[in-house]
Amino acid sequence: MSVIKVDQIQGSTGTTVTIPSGTTIVNSGTATNFGLADTNSSSSSLTKQWINYKGTDTNAVNDSMNCSSVTDSSAGNYRPVFSNNMDNGNYALSGVSDGRGSGDTPDDGTFVIGTSSTYSVTPSSSTYGVLCCTASNGSRVDLDNVHMCINGDLA
Amino acid sequence: MSTLITNTFTGKTSAGSIVVTGEGGSTTTNLQQGLNKVWFTLGVDAVQDDSFNCSSVDDDGSGDYGIHFTNDFNNALYSSSIGMTVTGLNDRYMVQSPSKAAGAVEVRLLNTNDGSATESNITHAEMKICGDLA
């Protein structure tokens, strides 16, 4: 078997490199990134963190992606930490909570991101703050099920 | 630029896990877990104007809907995000009901002043959901 070692393959007269009909290209199982050099373009549209969080009693991360921990700072004040950091603090947070109450008739509950205040933190590449408040009067409250979702650029 | 034309992506080591390099190049994320598994824009007439991975909608009362998934989640521990379209300067909000399940999400549209259910001055409720599919 002949081995050709190069860093780049380029067409001799243009950008097309032709693989002749009947030719088989075999990945022996050791090659990586085969044909996927431009992975960054597919990354931007992916959600970079999502969390299903229990904010009452024994606080717990029920399920998550890219979340190492969530600190329960005070009533309705949570601070998720990324496993793999973001590039900066300019990401987009979205989410919702289960309403207070039970079954199919919840009555209240919401959450907002905290930026820089007594109760929260400025979003950074490693963490951010979330405040959960009652929609009816704005008071901070622990909620049973808080959902957080982050879109943005990873480091 | 390389173009890969295919109908299906499947992980080699683990069928349900493909690693994608992050924008900064120094870390990675997971393709399957980073995808939105459900999204919908739902009219208060209980009609989905557009959606992904949703089948039917239950109209359970004023501002009370159940949206069924085409392909179920692994469990009910998914992570949802919401948005709403309202008419005028009316403050409304949507919460997820604790009665959600792997195969459907229950939502309630509420007045923010007293937490009561409502459909008034709302045209659409929007939601996206991340999590693990079954």
> Cβ distance A150 to A50 under 8 Å?
yes
State the average pLDDT over residues B4-28: 88
Separation of alpha carbons B32 and B79, rounded Å: 14
Confidence of residue A33 (pLDDT cuts 50, 70, 90): very low
Of A46, A106, A153, the CB nearest to B95: A106
> Cβ distance B92 to B110 under 8 Å?
yes
Place of tokens 């960054």: A40
What pLDDT does residue A118 have? 55
State the average pLDDT over residues A8-27: 63
For chain B positions 56-115, those within 8 Å of chain A (CB to CB) are 60, 64, 75, 77-83, 93-100, 106, 108, 110, 112-115
Domain map (residue ranges) of chain B: 36-130
Contact status of A155 with chain B (Cβ, < 8 Å):
yes
Report the Cα A73 to chain-centroid distance in Å: 21
What pLDDT does residue B79 have? 94
Contact status of A74 with chain B (Cβ, < 8 Å):
no
State the average pLDDT over residues B85-107: 86
Q: How many folded domains does chain A comprise?
A: 1
Q: Is the pLDDT of residue B130 over 80?
A: yes
Residue with the bigger pLDDT between A138 and A141: it is A141
Name every chain A residue with its beta carbon within 8 A of the beta carbon of B39: none
Place of tokens 């991340």: B130
User: Tens digits of per-residue pLDDT, A71-96?
Assistant: 998 888 899 999 999 999 888 888 88
CB contact under 8 A, A84 and B2: no
Kindly state the tokens that stand for B75: 């469990």
> Nearest CA to B22 among A83, A115, A8?
A83
Alpha-carbon distance values, B97 to A98, A128, A135 (Å): 5, 26, 15
State the average pLDDT over residues A10-34: 60
State the average pLDDT over residues A34-56: 71
Amino acid, single-letter form, for residue A20: P
For residue A108, the enclosing domain spans 47-151
Q: How far is B7 from chain A (nearest CA, A)?
A: 15
Confidence of residue A39 (pLDDT cuts 50, 70, 90): very low
Mean pLDDT of chain B, nearest integer: 89
What is the reported pTM? 0.77
Separation of alpha carbons A116 and A123, rounded Å: 8
Alpha-carbon distance values, A63 to A49, A51, A89, A143 (Å): 11, 6, 23, 16
The SS3 of residue B63 is coil
What pLDDT does residue A112 have? 61
State the average pLDDT over residues A110-132: 73
Mean pLDDT of chain A, nearest integer: 76
